[in-house]
């Protein structure tokens, strides 16, 4: 049976893996591999008030297995959520990582992922074995429902310019490119939909 529900602490392991899968840039920025990266995300998922936290996450559950995740946040709250993630994840940070973060600090500080009047889709990720079955689209519908319920008239997201699959999905759902920004070797596209 397929259900969409709020995430629970016991989803932490799979939810963190899916979140990290959708954030290649985070692994590159912090120089975390596919073991350490999800561990950091899982730590933050289990703490409150970060962009990765369980309270901001919904999951698609298929027969007890987490098949996909969606995290969302008010655009106006995003900077605070990012800052708290950095503070709460600090014990993970090594000198080498700090050096890389410092190298990209200018771009990081300039980056504006979302505007205050937008409901922001922080992460969308579907387990590879469940893709192409409409799960991503259902989670996007949920994001828009949450946006409306919270009084927003716009949903936004950022996507790696090279992520053609995700960009095609967002285009089909009515998201329109607004701007681009660079971080490390990535170009990100900011897309917005009026609800």
Ligand X SMILES: CC(C)(COP(=O)(O)OP(=O)(O)OC[C@H]1O[C@@H](n2cnc3c(N)ncnc32)[C@H](O)[C@@H]1OP(=O)(O)O)[C@@H](O)C(=O)NCCC(=O)NCCS
| C-alpha to C-alpha distance for 193 and 166, rounded to whole angstroms | 15
Of 43, 125, 190, 193, the residue at the interface with ligand X (CB under 6 A) is 125
Task: Pick the stretch among 40-48, 112-120, 135-143, 175-183 that binds ligand X (CB under 6 A).
Answer: 135-143
- Judged by beta carbon, residue 106 or residue 169, the one nearer ligand X is 169
Judged by CB under 6 A, does residue 129 bind ligand X?
no
Judged by CB under 6 A, does residue 166 bind ligand X?
yes
Judged by CB under 6 A, does residue 19 bind ligand X?
no
Task: Pick the stretch among 5-13, 126-134, 146-154, 181-189 that binds ligand X (CB under 6 A).
Answer: 126-134
User: Are 179 and 104 within 8 A, CB to CB?
Assistant: no
Instruction: State how far the alpha carbon of 7 is from the alpha carbons of 26, 40, 61, 167, 194, in Å.
Output: 22, 18, 9, 25, 27
**Helices (H), strands (E): how many in the chain?**
8, 7
User: What's the closest the beta carbon of residue 133 comes to ligand X, in angstroms?
Assistant: 5
Of 131, 141, 142, 146, the residue at the interface with ligand X (CB under 6 A) is 131
Judged by CB under 6 A, does residue 113 bind ligand X?
no
HEC string of 4-35 equals EEECCHHHHHHHHHHHHHCCHHHHHHHCCCCC
Under rule CB under 6 A, how many of the chain's residues touch ligand X? 19
| C-alpha to C-alpha distance for 174 and 168, rounded to whole angstroms | 10
User: What's the closest the beta carbon of residue 188 comes to ligand X, in angstroms?
Assistant: 9
| C-alpha to C-alpha distance for 67 and 153, rounded to whole angstroms | 28
Judged by CB under 6 A, does residue 124 bind ligand X?
yes
Judged by CB under 6 A, does residue 134 bind ligand X?
yes
| C-alpha to C-alpha distance for 41 and 68, rounded to whole angstroms | 16
Judged by CB under 6 A, does residue 126 bind ligand X?
yes
Q: List interacting residues with ligand X (CB under 6 A).
A: 21-22, 124-126, 131-137, 159, 163, 165-166, 168-169, 172
């Amino acid at each position: 049976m397929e259900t969409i529900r709020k995430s629970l602490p016991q989803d932490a392991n799979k939810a963190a893996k899916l979140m990290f899968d959708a954030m290649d840039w985070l692994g590159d920025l912090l120089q975390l591999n596919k073991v350490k990266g999800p561990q950091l995300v899982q730590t933050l998922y289990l703490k409150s008030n970060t962009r990765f936290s369980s309270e901001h996450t919904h999951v698609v559950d298929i027969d007890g297995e987490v098949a996909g995740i969606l995290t969302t946040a008010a655009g106006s709250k995003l900077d605070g959520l990012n800052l708290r993630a950095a503070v709460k994840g600090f014990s993970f940070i090594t000198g080498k990582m700090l050096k890389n973060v410092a190298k990209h600090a200018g771009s990081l500080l300039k980056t504006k992922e979302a505007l205050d009047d937008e409901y922001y889709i922080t992460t969308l990720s579907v387990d590879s074995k469940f893709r192409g079955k409409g799960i991503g689209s259902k989670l996007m519908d949920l994001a828009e429902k949450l946006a409306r319920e919270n009084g927003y008239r716009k949903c936004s997201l950022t996507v790696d310019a090279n992520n053609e699959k995700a960009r095609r999905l967002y285009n089909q759902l009515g998201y329109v490119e607004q701007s681009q920004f660079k971080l490390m070797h990535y170009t990100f596209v900011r897309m917005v939909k009026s609800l």
